Amino acid sequence: MACGIKFLQWLSEGGCLPPHGRLLDIGESCLYMAAAEDIRWFWDRYGCSLPPDEYEATLAHYVMRSNTIGHPEIRTLFVAELLAVTNLRYSSIDVVSAGFAERFDLNVHALAKAQRNQFDTVVNFGTTEHLINQMNAYRVIHDACKPGGHMYHQVPGTGYLHHGYFTYDIQFFEDLAKANGYVFKDAWYCGPQGAGNVLQHAPTHPGVADPNKPYNNVEGFREQPIPNSVINVLFQKVSDAPFRVGLELSTSANFDTTGQFVSSFIYPASLPPPKGYPVVPIRDHRRR
């Protein structure tokens, strides 16, 4: 997981990183491509506790490491290091720790009650696409953010074949915002950042390049690569209501949220509480 410092500056200038605020990083993020003026700007804005005689040397070291990626001996700079000398209070959770994160599995762990509704800003810089359990991951993000706080997601939007498990359609975020009453403050795409092609999977899955498979237009795929882009989404949380998910119903029959489910396939412990189904049906747009 990694972010460019320009995105932190954008959040700051938009009032989403208040001085002395608490920031939770979902996944321990490296900081890419920071120039000296970028770091100076950040330290001027949020204070810098470095002794004056260490400032310039530390700045030069951080710039070098922020622009060194994949080196066998030099570790890329972490966001935690940039913020450690400021008045922002940074925390991160990750399934593995490079030294700054508390270990936490977003697939299975629930957020401790003491950490709920505590963070001014929660950032997801390319973490959730690596997780199978999307519902739990986005519940943790929701639970951590305080009412009035912001949640920022930067995840694959198109392409990035063989990078994680998911790319995200903007509809996912639209329905997530509707289900939870978030203020959908902004969205845009970064890119294109190169391109990929589904035929790249042919060496391990030969059927991908087999034109005899039903409707497999191999030449069509060859001529139309998929651009790589990331989608950026900014939410503001407005209440401490429990997390809910959207249920996309544009192609489905009517859905009754008032009745109880009755089926021989349902494990009883998985039934929703009788006071309400924890899913918000969304069928008021994109009718196909």
pLDDT tens profile 185-201: 999 999 999 999 999 99
Contact 6, 104 (CB under 8 A): no
The pLDDT value recorded for residue 95 is 94
Which tokens hold the place of 160? Answer: 């990035």
The pLDDT value recorded for residue 45 is 97
205 occurs within a structural domain: no
Q: Which domain holds residue 17?
A: 2-193+228-249+261-282
Q: How many CB atoms lie within 10 A of CB 259?
A: 7
Model pTM?
0.91
Residue 171's CATH number: 3.40.50.150
41 occurs within a structural domain: yes
268 occurs within a structural domain: yes
212 occurs within a structural domain: no
Q: How many CB atoms lie within 10 A of CB 221?
A: 15
Sorted by sequence, the CB contacts under 8 Å of residue 79 that are 6+ apart come out as 3, 8, 25, 29, 30, 31, 90, 92
Contact 104, 95 (CB under 8 A): yes
Report the C-alpha dihedral over residues 32, 38, 44, 46, rounded to 10 degrees: -30
Element (H, E) at 175: helix 170-180
276 occurs within a structural domain: yes
The pLDDT value recorded for residue 1 is 79
206 occurs within a structural domain: no
Number of domains in the chain: 1
Burial label for 205, CB within 10 Å (0-12, 13-18, 19+), is exposed
What is the rounded distance in angstroms from the CA atom of residue 43 to the CA atom of residue 102? 25
For residue range 52-97, what is the model confidence (pLDDT) as tens digits? 999 999 999 999 999 999 999 999 999 999 999 999 999 999 998 8
Report, as ranges of residue numbers, the positions in the chain whose pLDDT lies below 50. Answer: 274-277, 283-288
Pairing of the two strands 183-190 and 229-236: antiparallel
